[in-house]
Amino acid sequence: MFNVVTIAREYGSGGASIGHKVAERMGWECIDKQIIERVAVLGKCDPTWAEQADEQSCAWWERVMSGFRHGGPEVYVGGVADTGVDRDSLQQFTAHVIEEAAKAGNCVIVGRSSQCVLRQQQRVFHVLVYAPLAEKLQRMKQRHPRERDLPGLLRRMDNDRLRYAQEYFACDSRERGLYHLCLNSAIGLDVCADIIVDAIRLSSTSQREQEATSA
């Protein structure tokens, strides 16, 4: 039976809100920004820097400069926290937090390529949330009222998340085979949450019936 849900989402699709609604309906923990807090504790780094590096892959020049920082007198902090934790290390901490949350179960994990980290786990239900461009841009206006190029920001955010999954997990997050359910949030955030909850509960009921029949 499923006891963990991952929510992959296009930027501006409302996927995070849907994840919170699912957790509330199921009585589970929703793990979203908490991942950043836990990673910052593990890496002993500034939570603000951890948030800036969230779902961001490490550029090749950051790795080179990080090597200089650790191997010589040069000091570089552009892609490395004051403690020496770089984006690559941050990703390892992130994957660890996701894996530990999945072990505990009864949780909804939002983003951070959790669908890739946990793709081999049998008890994890994977969801992808997407939305029409116009709806995503409208939602983004509320979050970024001063942004002049919302389509550009949208492309950057989605591309960053795509690279993050590809670089660290050799995983194409656009691959529909990763997911049990793909939802267009244009039908409504509450409707999406209800569909996810119903799917989990129906799946659990079906499994119990199969086990009872085979017993």
Q: Do the beta carbons of residue 144 and residue 153 sit within 8 Å? A: yes
Q: What is the pLDDT, as a whole number, of residue 39?
A: 86
Supply the range of the domain harboring residue 22: 4-210
Question: Within a domain: residue 154?
Answer: yes
Nearest C-alpha neighbor of 49 from the set 77, 75, 68: 77
Q: What is the CATH number of the domain that holds 141?
A: 3.40.50.300
Q: What is the pLDDT, as a whole number, of residue 58?
A: 52
Q: How many domains does the chain have?
A: 1
Question: Within a domain: residue 50?
Answer: yes
pLDDT of 64 over the 60 cut: no
Question: Within a domain: residue 215?
Answer: no
CB-based contacts of 165, cutoff 8 Å, min separation 6: 113, 116, 171, 172, 173
Q: What is the pLDDT, as a whole number, of residue 84?
A: 54
Q: Do the beta carbons of residue 18 and residue 7 sit within 8 Å? A: yes
Q: Mean pLDDT score of the chain, rounded to an integer?
A: 85
Question: Within a domain: residue 104?
Answer: yes
In the sheet where 107-110 sits, what is the strand order? Answer: 29-31, 107-110, 4-9, 124-130, 181-184
pLDDT tens per residue, range 146-195: 999 999 999 999 999 999 999 999 999 999 999 999 999 999 999 999 99
Q: Where are the alpha helices (DSSP H) in the chain?
A: 15-26, 34-43, 47-52, 60-71, 87-104, 114-117, 133-143, 150-169, 189-214
Percent of the chain, pLDDT > 90?
Answer: 64
Question: Within a domain: residue 68?
Answer: yes
Question: Within a domain: residue 45?
Answer: yes
**Average pLDDT, integer, range 77-84:** 46
Q: What is the pLDDT, as a whole number, of residue 205?
A: 83
pLDDT band for position 91 (50/70/90)? confident
pLDDT band for position 48 (50/70/90)? confident
pLDDT band for position 55 (50/70/90)? confident
Nearest C-alpha neighbor of 103 from the set 126, 122, 127, 116: 122
**Cα(74)–Cα(71) distance, integer angstroms:** 8
**Average pLDDT, integer, range 89-98:** 89
